[in-house]
Amino acid sequence: MTKEELFQQIKAKKSYLCVGLDTDINSIPRHLLNEADPVFAFNKQIIEATLDFAVAYKPNLAFYESQGARGWESLAKTMEYLPAEVFTIADAKRGDIGNTSKHYARAFFEQMNFDAITLSPYMGADAVTPYLAYDDKWAILLALTSNDSSRDFEQLAVYDDSNFFNIVPSKLYEYVINKSLAWGHSDKLMYVVGATRADELAHIRKLIPDHFLLVPGVGAQGGSLEEVTKNGMNSQCGLLVNSSRGIIFAGQDEGFARAAGAAAGALQQQMAEYLDRYL
């Protein structure tokens, strides 16, 4: 999907909501366990209930891999079920080099036709550029995440010693952003930026005015949607705000899908208002 197409979807649905399909088989309603594929049965009903309100879906690979080959099949069926106008993100946080990255790209972009994959930047350009070789596919780099231990390395002071006089430090995540700008443009690259840090979101938006940001952590992890929007929105929206448990596990038992639809709808209503106000 192109950046323009994504923006069209955002305007059409008045939403920049991404639904995180963190489908933990231990958390889905018990009655679904009688289905042939409980995880897919759950996802299917969640998608039906939320499709009017969401422009993107983001399966978290861990929850499928922990079910082995069966989980991988549930994921493939989920991907087949999602309509083409939806932006799909493999939340895989892969990061490996050369030939290995090419195989991951094949797995997610060809085998399952995801639009995007999340990547860890630690190994550098080699871990990212193979994904950028695909037309209309996206690499979403971890920049500043919302977990406590983002302080361990992401927020560490670094400097580029290629210039001895340039000892003004930046944080590792800023350096990652700046460095990666040489690898691909804003029609190929996005960044993960945690919603718990609205001030830093504003700072990052200045560094990269044109890029889409994937923002997890609204709701369960405590970020405010209005703060995120105020600090992060650009002229093409530039935001995909993810909610996982807050939507998919909003309700229990037979009413789970209706509750998920209501939770997604409530977020979408706020987003429609913020798109009017801040776009």
| Catalytic center residues | 93
By CB under 8 A, what part of segment 72-91 binds a second copy? 72-73, 76, 91
Residue 149 in the binding site for a second copy (CB under 8 A): yes
Q: Is residue 158 within the footprint of a second copy (CB under 8 A)? A: yes
Of 7, 11, 24, 37, the one binding a second copy by CB under 8 A: 24
For residues 37, 40, 45, 49, the Cα torsion angle rounded to the nearest 10 degrees is 170
- Of 75, 88, 66, the C-alpha closest to 214 is 88
CA 210 from chain centre, in angstroms, equals 17
Taking CB under 8 A as the rule, does residue 68 contact a second copy? yes
Q: Which ranges of 82-155 does DSSP label H, i.e. alpha helix? A: 98-105, 129-132
Residue 179 vs 230, nearer CB to a second copy: 179
Q: Encoding tokens for residue 69? A: 């080959």
CB of 102 to a second copy, least distance (A): 8
66 interacts with a second copy by CB under 8 A = yes
Closest contact distance (angstroms) between CB of 55 and a second copy is: 23
Burial of 161 from C-beta contacts in 10 A (0-12 / 13-18 / 19+): exposed
Q: What is the CA radius of gyration of the chain?
A: 18
Residue 203's CB is within 10 A of a number of other CB atoms, namely: 15
Rounded CA separation 278/113 (Å): 33
Q: Does 67 bind a second copy (CB under 8 A)?
A: yes
Any idea how long the chain is?
Answer: 279
Of 30, 84, 135, 151, the one binding a second copy (CB under 8 A) is 151
Annotate 184-201 with DSSP letters as a single string: --TTTEEEEE-TT-HHHH
CB of 169 to a second copy, least distance (A): 7
Query: Under the criterion CB under 8 A, does residue 30 sit at the interface with a second copy?
Result: no
**Is residue 142 near a second copy by the rule CB under 8 A?**
yes
218 touches a second copy by CB under 8 A: no
The residues of the shown chain that bind a second copy, judged by CB under 8 A, are 22, 24, 60, 62-63, 65-70, 72-73, 76, 91, 93-101, 103-104, 106-107, 111-112, 120-127, 142, 145, 147-154, 156-161, 169, 172, 175-176, 179
